[in-house]
Amino acid sequence: MADGIRRLPPLNALRAFEVAARHLNFRLAADELGVTQGAVAQQVRGLEAALGLKLFERHTRTLALTEAGRSYVGTIGRAFELIVEATHALKPEPRHLTISVTPSFASRFLIPRLPGFTEAHPDIDLRILATDRISNFQTDAVDLAVRYGRPPFGPGLIADLLFEQVVVAVASPLLIEKLGPPERPENLRHYALLHDSHDFWPQFLDLAFPGGAATSGKNIRFNQTSLAIEAAAAGQGLALASLFFVTDDLASHRLVRPLTTELRVGADFYLVSPRKPRHPAAVLDVREWLSKAGTRA
């Protein structure tokens, strides 16, 4: 076997011949290989000398394969294809997968946990589509989505519960120290209420204060829950958020829960994907990872 390998023509010469045979032009072959035209011509001449055969007919502006050249290039081309396939088999290309989530879910939950995902699944190229619009699995080339609501979400889709929607009030501990606990109605009126697009404050206040409670009437409105949470952390008022969105902030005491009330609105977060996904193995891996991450949130 070792003697056979030593009798092989130089691989650079074989490569130069295969590329030149495809283009029938030394200049174009040189462009593809990133070398000079003279280097390609020299490699081919060396190969012809080693084989003792003429592989090309040289014309003024082009090349033509000889009968020996036509026979040889087919086999050489297949040999290079086998080398490429063997190399890819050793190191497969990343599996591409697109997941559709809301901007708040992306910033508050997914992005902070991405290092753990890439460590566990280095072979998956995860593409995050963050939008409030409901993405279409076919036209938007989405493989997996996190959707808020109640199943079913459409024909041909499967949905697994990821998080129950538990809405809690959060605020900066410095603001609580400054204005006093908002659970006391006399203190609540000093707080600004930070709203998002869900506008759960009327339901939340009815549940937290059945007898009614006066508020300051100062309201700041955001189109994203994540923005309301950041405003709360900056001491601008009280925000409402899904409990799993603020788990890390509560653990680090960046935010606190000044009210014990928990509001459930009958809509939750689900993992949704087609019953017949384009990339079943990758979708299964991401579903399992998100489910495990959800149980730890």
Give the integer Cα–Cα distance in Å for 49 and 54: 8
User: Dmax over Cα atoms in the chain, in whole Å?
Assistant: 102
> Same domain for 219 and 274?
no
Tell whether 257 is covered by a domain.
no
In this prediction, residue 96 carries a pLDDT of 87
Q: Are 161 and 105 members of one domain? A: yes
State the pLDDT at residue 57: 93
Same domain flag for 150 and 193: no
In this structure, is residue 245 part of a structural domain? yes
Tell me if 262 is assigned to some domain.
Answer: no
pLDDT tens digits along 104-148 = 999 999 999 999 899 988 889 999 999 988 888 888 889 999 999
**Is the pLDDT assigned to residue 1 strictly greater than 80?**
no
Strand ordering across the sheet containing 157-163? 124-130, 95-101, 144-149, 268-274, 157-163
H-helix segments, 144-279: 173-179, 185-188, 201-208, 225-233, 247-251
- Could you give the number of structural domains in the chain? 3
- My answer on whether 157 and 10 are in the same domain is no
Mean pLDDT of 11-32: 92
pLDDT level of residue 61 (50, 70, 90 thresholds): confident
CATH number at residue 12: 1.10.10.10
> What percent of the chain clears pLDDT 70, i.e. is strictly above it?
95
Q: Say if 256 falls within a structural domain.
A: no
Residues 101, 217: one domain? no
Range of the domain at 131: 95-165+267-296
Is the pLDDT reported for residue 2 higher than 50?
no
Are 228 and 247 in a shared domain?
Answer: yes
Q: Which of 90, 113, 128 is the C-terminal boundary of a domain?
A: 90
Asked whether residue 258 is domain-assigned, the answer is no
Check whether residue 189 and residue 239 sit in a common domain.
Answer: yes
One domain, residues 77 and 104: no
Q: Give the single-character DSSP code of 243.
A: G
116 dihedral zone (left: phi>0; alpha: psi -120 to 50; beta): alpha
Residue 31 neighbours by CB under 8 Å, 6+ apart: none
Final residue of a structural domain among 70, 90, 110: 90
**What does the pLDDT look like over 215-239, one tens digit per residue?**
888 999 999 999 999 999 999 999 9
Would you place residue 6 in the very low, low, confident or very high pLDDT band (cuts 50, 70, 90)? low
pTM reported for the whole predicted model = 0.67
CATH of the domain at 118: 3.40.190.10
Tens of pLDDT, residue by residue over 141-173, are: 899 999 999 988 888 899 999 999 999 999 999
**Calculated CA dihedral for residues 139, 140, 144, 150, nearest 10 degrees:** -70
57 assigned to some structural domain:
yes
